[in-house]
Amino acid sequence: MTYDYDLLVIGAGSGGLAAAKRAARYGAKVGIIENDLVGGTCVVRGCVPKKLLVYASQFSHLYQDAVGYGWDAITPSFHWPTLAQIVDNEVNRLSQLHTRFLDQSKVELILGQAAFLDSHIIEVHNSSASHDTGKRKLTAERILIATGSEAVLPDIPGIELALTSREVFKLPKQPKKLAIIGGGYIGVEFAGIFNGLVTEVIQIVRGDNILRGFDEDIRTHLQDTMRQRGITILTETQLDRLEKTTEGTVLFLKGDAAPATLTVDAAVLFAIGRVPNTADLGLDLAGVAQTDHGAVAVNEWSQTTQPHIYAVGDVTNRANLTPVAIDEGRAFADTVFGNTPRAVNYANIPTAVFSQPEVATVGLSEAEAIVQLGEKNVKIYRSTFRPLYHSLTGATEKTVMKLVVDQQSNRVIGAHMVGKEAAEIIQSVAISINMGATKQDFDNTMALHPSTAEEFVTMR
C-alpha cells in the first residue's frame, strides 16, 4: 500500500516536535497535526509562561531584601494586564519559532483535530470561528501519538466556576484573593507566584503535607517556609462545592481544621493532577490499548499494541517531564528511522519545583532508599542553614540540602534541596549521581567558596 506519509505525528508539543524533526532529518516524509498553538503544554501553557510568572513574582521579595543592603525602601506597584500581555507575546513568539523550525525541517504542519479511522488512517477536522475547511483523510505507514495531558477537574457542584493552569494565564485581572486546590507541584508553584504578586493565597490540600512523593524533609521544610511567607495552607481539607454570590466565589469545605466556607473574589484554581489527553482520538478504532489509568500503553520502545503506532510524552504517563518527552521522541526516531535503536533511561531524572523557595531533587528519597535497601544500609547527610544572602536581609528563611547514600557501596543515590537556585545546583549534581559518584568522591571535591552549592561537598 502507498501511504501519504512515512510518519504522522499527532500533537506538536515537546515530544512530537522532537520526533518529527529528527525523523525528517533521517529522510522520512513527515506530517504533524496540531489543534492549538505549536509548542504544546510546555511552551504555550506550562513551563515557559509559568517560569516567566515566577520571575515576575520574585521582584517583590527583591524590593524588600534590598533595604538590608542599603537601598531605600519604596512602595512598588504592579500591573497584571501588562505582565499577562508580554508573557502572551513571548508564548506566541516561541510558537512561531517552533513553526519555522518545522518548515526548515521540511515537516508539514497540519492544523486540526485528529482522530483514528483505523490503524493507518487519520481524519483531521479543521474548524474555527473564521472558517471550516472540513475533514481530510490522511494515511501513514507509522503514526506517533504525542497529545500530552490535560488538567483534571472533579465532578462537584459549581465546577464551572473553576480555573485550571490552562486558563490562569489568561485572567483579565489579578485576583485579590485566590484559592488553589491541590498540593502538587503546579499548585505549589502558582501559590508562590501569586503570593509574590501580593495576592492573598489560600492553598487547600487533601493530605497532611504538600508535594506527595517528594522527600519528607523537603516537603515539610517547604510547607513551613511557604506559611512563613504568608501563604495559608489548609491541610486535610476537601472542597465540597462552589457557589457564585454577589461577594465572589464561595468554597464549601470539609475538614477538622478548615473553615466551613471561604470566599474569594473570583478565582479558584484547580491543580489536582493531570490525565493523558486521549479523548476523541478513536484509539479503539486503531486497536491501541490503554492502561487502567487511561494512558496509551507502550513498551520500552514507545511501541503500542499496534506495532506501527507509537506514543511518547505525558500521554503514556511514564515520567511526565518535558526533557523526558523530548528524549522519548528522539529515541523513537533514532530507533525507527535512524537504524540506531535506543531506549530511554528513566533512572536518576532530575526534577525541579519552581516554588518559592525553589525545590530540586534527583535520585531516591530517604523513604524510597530505605524500602529498596533497608534502613541499616542507608545513611543520610543533612544541612540546614541560613544562606549568606539573607545575613543582611533579616529574613530567617533557611536552605535545606540532603544526600542519601548507600552504605554498602558508598554511592550517593539521592540529592535534595530547598533554596535559591536549587534547580541549577541539582542539575550538576545529577551528572555525578548518574556517573555513580560515591560520598568519598563528593568529599574529595574542593569546595567553591562562598557558595550554597559547596555544602554538597562539605557535609560530614
Higher pLDDT, 127 or 196: 196
Element (H, E) at 412: strand 412-418
What average pLDDT does the segment 133-141 reach? 90
Residue 258 has pLDDT above 60, yes or no: yes
Which is more confident, 52 or 170? 52
Which residue out of 79, 131, 293, 449 is catalytically annotated? 449
**134: confidence class by pLDDT, cuts 50, 70, 90:** confident
Sheet bearing 399-406, strands edge to edge: 351-353, 359-363, 412-418, 399-406, 378-385
Q: What's 118's DSSP letter? A: S
Residue 147 near residue 10, CB atoms below 8 Å: yes
| Of the listed ranges 122-136, 303-317, 419-433, the one predicted with least confidence | 122-136
pLDDT band at 12 (very low <50, low <70, confident <90, very high): very high
300 CB-contact burial (10 Å; exposed 0-12 / middle 13-18 / buried 19+): exposed
Please give the pLDDT value at position 50.
97
Q: Does the structure show a pLDDT above 50 at 345? A: yes
What does the pLDDT read at residue 129?
Answer: 44
- Of the CA atoms within 13 Å of residue 203, those in its CB half-sphere come to 32
Is the model's pLDDT at 140 over the cut of 90? yes
List, for residues 199-233, the tens digit of each pLDDT value.
Answer: 999 999 999 999 999 999 999 999 999 999 999 99
Residue 449 annotated as catalytic: yes
What is d(CA 180, CA 48) in angstroms, rounded to the nearest whole number?
20
Residue 126 has pLDDT above 90, yes or no: no
Confidence of residue 288 (pLDDT cuts 50, 70, 90): very high
User: Quick one: average pLDDT of 10-22?
Assistant: 98
Residue 132 has pLDDT above 80, yes or no: no
Per-domain residue ranges for the chain? Answer: 5-46+82-149+275-336, 153-272, 351-457
Percent of the chain with pLDDT over 90: 96
At residue 238, φ and ψ (nearest 5 deg) are: -125, 150
Task: Supply the mean pLDDT for the chain.
Answer: 96
Give the pLDDT confidence of 237-256 residue by residue, as tens digits: 999 999 999 999 999 999 98
**Nearest-angstrom CA–CA distance, 57 and 30:** 41
Percentage of the chain modeled with pLDDT above 70: 98
Q: Is the pLDDT of residue 197 over 60?
A: yes
Asked if the domains 5-46+82-149+275-336 and 153-272 are classified in one and the same CATH topology, the answer is: yes
Asked if the model's pLDDT at residue 398 lies above 60, the reply is yes
Whether residue 127 is predicted with pLDDT greater than 80 in this model: the reply is no
Are 250 and 242 within 8 A, CB to CB? yes
> Which cell numbers in the block locate residue 115?
482522530
Domain 153-272 has CATH 3.50.50.60: yes
207-212, long-range: CB within 8 Å, 24+ apart, which pairs? 207/183, 207/235, 207/236, 208/235, 208/236, 209/183, 209/235, 210/183, 210/184, 211/183, 211/184, 211/185, 211/353, 211/359, 212/183, 212/184
What topology does CATH give the domain 5-46+82-149+275-336?
Answer: FAD/NAD(P)-binding domain (3.50.50)
Joined together, the cell numbers standing for residue 205 give: 490540600
Structural fold of domain 351-457: Enolase-like; domain 1 (3.30.390)
